[in-house]
Amino acid sequence: MTAAPTSPRGPGGRPDPLKVAALGGGHGLAASLRALRHVTSDVTAVVTVADDGGSSGRLRQELGVLPPGDLRMALSALCDESDWGHTWSDVLQHRFTSSGPLDGHALGNLLIVSLWELLGDEVSGLDWVAKLLGAEGRVLPMAAVPLEIEADVKLPNGQEALVRGQSRVAVTSGVVQRVRLIPVDPPACPDAVQAIRQADVVVLGPGSWFTSVMPHLMVPEIAEALHEARLTLTLNLSAQQGETTGYTAVDHLHSLQSYAPGLKLDTVIADPASIEDLDELQSHARTHGARLLLRQVGQGDGGPYHDPLRLAAAYRDAFDRFLGDVGEKSG
């Protein structure tokens, strides 16, 4: 196996693991985390906190807490590769089935919220769950307050509608025109901002484009840190039914530019099978200052899911491009 990339910044010339911050939410972020753990042991997940459905939505409404579901999934993706880690990961992901109020709740959500109440601090609570899992890396919320997502949507009949709530935006039958966060310009989690600023590279995506990926660009302190970061964008393998129906890979870059003018990318990772117009995509990647890295990163069965090992190999290729630059700056 190829040696993991390192950042030559340790004391006495000893190379440290490459520092990576991965941004997103839900299944997309979990996919990038499972890949990144094959690349480095120093990964920090920065997770969206706008979920308002299911177990997370119920806890958020009843207790006024950050929605824990996407945070739980990220923690589970970073669990230790041992019987201990996998067992506790399964416990975290376990959902109750009953005819009572526990029905549908994930045990991990209840555990996370319990620690938040006991410790009075979200970051400390997540760190304790990470210790329980033997996780390699940290999981942090993107913002310090729960968020709502509001979208302008063009319906199939041509009319426009206002859709509010992440769970509703994600399954809308219309075309999302624009999304906003409520509250506007929310405060960022300070640890998340620090993790992005200290990272050698930041990974954005894959994931639900408007409800998991784009929200990071609407938190001012996060967006400011991203404008100074070495960014690798991981494109989705297909459009998401509802949220990005009909979107091409180029459309995703168009929307990124509209939400974050001037944002520079180091690398755009795309699976050749998901590209409609290669020349146009290469041109748009260059407008962001990025190279387009074409790699087969989907699962072998052709489903719209990233394969952890294939995606890990793509990340290695993406990160190798600037490792020399990191060493020169450190020296």
Domain ranges of the chain: 6-49+186-330, 52-141
Using CA atoms, how far apart are residues 73 and 58, in angstroms rounded to an integer?
A: 17
Q: What is the 3-state secondary structure (H, E, C) of the chain?
A: CCCCCEECCCHHHCCEECEEEEEECHHHHHHHHHHHCCCCCEEEEEECCCCCCHHHHHHHHHHCCCCCHHHHHHHHHCCCCCHHHHHHHHHHHCECCCCCCCCCCEHHHHHHHHHHHHHCCHHHHHHHHHHHHCCCCEEEECECCCCEEEEEEECCCCCEEEEECHHHHCCCCCEEEEEEEECCCCCECHHHHHHHHHCCEEEECCCCHHHHHHHHHHCHHHHHHHCCCCEEEECCCCCCCCCCCCCCHHHHHHHHHHHCCCCCCCEEEECHHHCCCHHHHHHHHHHCCCEEEECCCECCCCCCCECHHHHHHHHHHHHHCCHHHHHHHHC
Question: Between 174 and 227, where is the model more confident?
Answer: 227
Average pLDDT estimate for 72-88 = 96
**What are the CA-CA distances from residue 58 to residues 62, 73, 93, 117, 256 (Å)?**
6, 17, 17, 16, 31
For residue 300, is pLDDT > 60? yes
**What is the overall mean pLDDT for the chain?**
90
Q: What is the pLDDT of residues 4-36, one digit of tens each?
A: 565 555 444 446 889 999 999 999 999 999 999
- Where residue 287 falls among pLDDT bands split at 50, 70, 90? confident
Which pLDDT does position 198 carry in this prediction? 97
Q: Domain 6-49+186-330 maps to which CATH number in 3.40.1160.10, 3.40.50.720, 3.40.50.300, 3.40.50.10680?
A: 3.40.50.10680
For residue 331, is pLDDT > 50? no
pTM above 0.85, yes or no: yes
**Could you give the angle at which helices 122-133 and 69-77 cross, rounded to 10 degrees?**
30
Sheet holding 160-164, edge to edge: 160-164, 148-154, 175-182
For residue 1, is pLDDT > 50? no
Which pLDDT does position 20 carry in this prediction? 97
**What are the CA-CA distances from residue 329 to residues 8, 9, 185, 200, 265 (Å)?**
10, 9, 33, 11, 19
For residue 163, is pLDDT > 60? yes
Average pLDDT estimate for 130-152 = 96
Which pLDDT does position 4 carry in this prediction? 57
- Please, are residues 199 and 173 in contact by the beta-carbon 8 Å criterion? no
- Where residue 247 falls among pLDDT bands split at 50, 70, 90? confident
Which pLDDT does position 171 carry in this prediction? 85
Per-range mean pLDDT, top range of 146-155, 171-180, 280-289: 146-155
Q: What is the pLDDT of residues 164-183, one digit of tens each?
A: 999 999 888 888 889 999 99
- Where residue 323 falls among pLDDT bands split at 50, 70, 90? low
Which pLDDT does position 328 carry in this prediction? 44
- Where residue 243 falls among pLDDT bands split at 50, 70, 90? confident
Average pLDDT estimate for 301-309 = 86
Which pLDDT does position 241 carry in this prediction? 75
